Structure 1
Amino acid sequence: MTQFYFVRHGKTEINAEGRFNGGTVDSPLIPAGVAATKRMAQHLKSVSFDMALTSPQMRAQTTAKIILAESINAPILTIIEELREMHLGDWDGKKIDQITADFPEELKNYRMRPDLFDAEKIHAEAYPNLIARSTKVIEEVTRTHPNDKVLVVSHGILLMALLNTLKGVPLAKIRESGIVDNSSLTILNHSKEKSVFETWGQTF
C-alpha cells in the first residue's frame, strides 16, 4: 500500500483575518503557523519520503519546505495544480461574517449540504469537481508508487473532501466531521482495494 502523509498548510494571514482562503487567494504563514509546522517537521524528520507533492499556492509550498528541511531523506518537491484549494469564486478573500450575512442559504449548503451547494451562483467550483481532480492525483500516485511514502501538502476544504471521499463518505455528508486544523497530519495507507487511516488531523 502507498502511505500518504496529508498535511494542511500552516495558519496564514487570511485565516487569522477570518476571510475565505480559497484557490484564487494566498497569503504568508503567520508566526504561529510556522511554529506549528516546525513542530510537525520534528515529528516527521525520521520519515524517509519517496515523493513530496504540494499545491501551487505559496502557503502550501512554504509548509512543505519547512517539513522537508528537517527530513532525513527529502525528495524534490513537486507542484501539482490539482492540489490547489477549492475555487470559491466571489467569496474568495471576503470576510466570512459578511458572506454569512449576504448569502445565508448558499453558505448553509456550502458548509452543511455540499450536494446542494450551487457553485455557479457565486462563480465557484463545485464539490464534485474538487473531489474528482484531487482523487485522480491520489489514485495515480497509488498506481505508480504502490509501496512508497508520499508527503502531500494541500488545503482545508480539499483535504476534507478528498479524505472523506476516500473513506467512503457520500457527498452530502463529507463536511459532517469538520475540516482538519492548520498544520495537521493525516496518515493514510491506500491501495486500489482499500483505505486505512492511521491518523486523522493530528496537531503538534
Structure 2
Amino acid sequence: MKLYFVRHGLTKINQAACFNGGQSDSSLTMDGKKAALSLGKQLQQVKFANCYSSPQKRALTTAELVMSQNKVTPATTPIIVPQLREMNLGEWDGTPISQHQHEAAFNDYFQHPARFPAEKIGAESYVALVRRGQLGLKKILFANQRQLRTTNLLIVSHGLLLTALIKSLQNVALDDFRRDGLVPTASVTIVQTFDGKKFETLEWGVSGD
C-alpha cells in the first residue's frame, strides 16, 4: 500500500503569517487552489482506492481539487476523518505569529516540541497530536486492510498533523519532529507499508510545480 499524504494549499491565514490551527478554517488563496490543481495533475495517473480528508475546509477543498484532475480514479467524495484535523493551538489560533514571539512557550513550540507547555495557552500537546494522528491512520488502514499490499490511498490534512504523524512513522524522536521543517503546502509525501506496522518514506514534500 502506498499512502499519499497531501498538505492543503496556501490559505489566507498562512499568507497573513498567522497561526493556522485546528480552530481556524481559512479558505485557500487563488495560488493555493492553483497549486492543488497542479499537484492533482502530477498525480492524475495514480488510481486511488479511497480519498480521506480532514474536516477543515482548506483540506477538503484541496482533496476535491486534487481528485478533480485524476484520470484513472472513479469520481469519489472525500471521506471525512475527524482525527486528521490540524493541531489545536488554543489562544494562538488565528492570531499573528509575531504577536507571540516573546512568550515563554514560543521557542519550545518551534524548537522543542517535547517540552511545549500546551496547557498554558489552552492548546493541544504534540504528544496528543501524534496519538490522534496515529488513531486516524489506524482507522484508515483498518478500513482498507484487505488491500494492504496493493492499493493507493490519498490522505489530505495539515502541516503539523502530517509532519508529526509521518515523523512518528519514521520513529523520529518527538523533539526532532520539526528539525527539517514542516511538509510544504500543496505537496505530497509518499509512504509505503505492506503490513500496517512498518513504514518506508519514498518521497517527501514533492510539489506539483
Give the TM-score, by structure 2 length.
0.93
Equivalent residue number for residue 26 of structure 2: 27
Letter in 1 for 2:77: I
Of 183, 202, 206, which aligns to 1:198?
A: 202
Q: Contact (CA 8 Å) 1:15, 1:21: kept in 2 or not? A: yes
What do the CA deviations read for 1:4-25 (whole angstroms, capped 9, x no partner)? 0000000000000000000001
CA distance in 2, matches of 1:107, 1:96: 9
In 2, the alpha carbon distance for the partners of 1:27 and 1:16 equals 10
**Do structure 1's residue 97 and structure 2's residue 101 form an aligned pair?**
no
| Letter of the structure 1 residue corresponding to residue 178 of structure 2 | R
What letter matches 2:20 in structure 1?
N
Note the alpha carbon deviations across 1:52-76, whole angstroms, 9 max, x for none: 1000000000000001111121433
| Contact 1:86-1:158 within 8 A present in 2 as well | yes
Q: Distance in 2 between matches of 1:144 and 1:95?
A: 39
Q: CA deviation at 1:192?
A: 3.2
- Distance, in Å, in 2 between the alignment partners of 1:36 and 1:203 is 8
Q: Indicate if the aligned counterparts of 1:20 and 1:93 stay in contact, CA closer than 8 A.
A: yes
Please give the alpha-carbon distance, in whole angstroms, between the structure 2 residues aligned to 1:70 and 1:40. 9
Distance 2:160 2:125 in 1: 12
User: RMSD of the alignment, in Å?
Assistant: 1.1
Give the Å deviation of 1:194.
1.5
Q: Identify the residue that residue 60 of structure 1 maps to in structure 2.
A: 59
Q: Is the 8 Å Cα contact of residues 55 and 79 (structure 1) preserved in structure 2?
A: yes
Q: Deviations over 1:86-125 (max 9, x none)?
A: 0000000010011113x1x301111111110111000000
- Partner amino acid for 2:153? V
Equivalent residue, structure 2, for 1:9 = 8
**In the alignment, what sits opposite 1:168?**
171
CA separation in 1, counterparts of 2:90 and 2:184? 23
Which residue of the partner structure matches residue 185 of structure 1? 188
Q: Does the 8 Å contact 1:50/1:75 carry over to 2?
A: no
Percent of residue pairs identical: 37
TM, length-normalised to structure 1:
0.95
Q: Distance in 2 between matches of 1:9 and 1:22?
A: 13
Matches of residues 44-123 of structure 1 in structure 2 within 5 Å?
Answer: 44-71=43-70, 72-73=72-73, 74-101=75-102, 103=103, 105-123=104-122
Equivalent position SS for 1:86: coil
- Cα distance in 2 for residues equivalent to 1:80 and 1:4: 15
In the aligned structure 2, how far is the partner of 1:143 from the partner of 1:29?
Answer: 31
How many Å apart are 1:142 and its aligned residue? 2.6
Is the contact made by 1:49 and 1:75 (CA closer than 8 Å) also made in structure 2?
no
1:193 & 1:125 partners in 2: Cα distance?
26
Provide the rounded CA distance (Å) in 2 between the counterparts of 1:4 and 1:193.
13
- In structure 1, what is the Cα distance between the partners aligned to 2:29 and 2:2? 29
Structure 2: 5+ residue stretches without partners? none
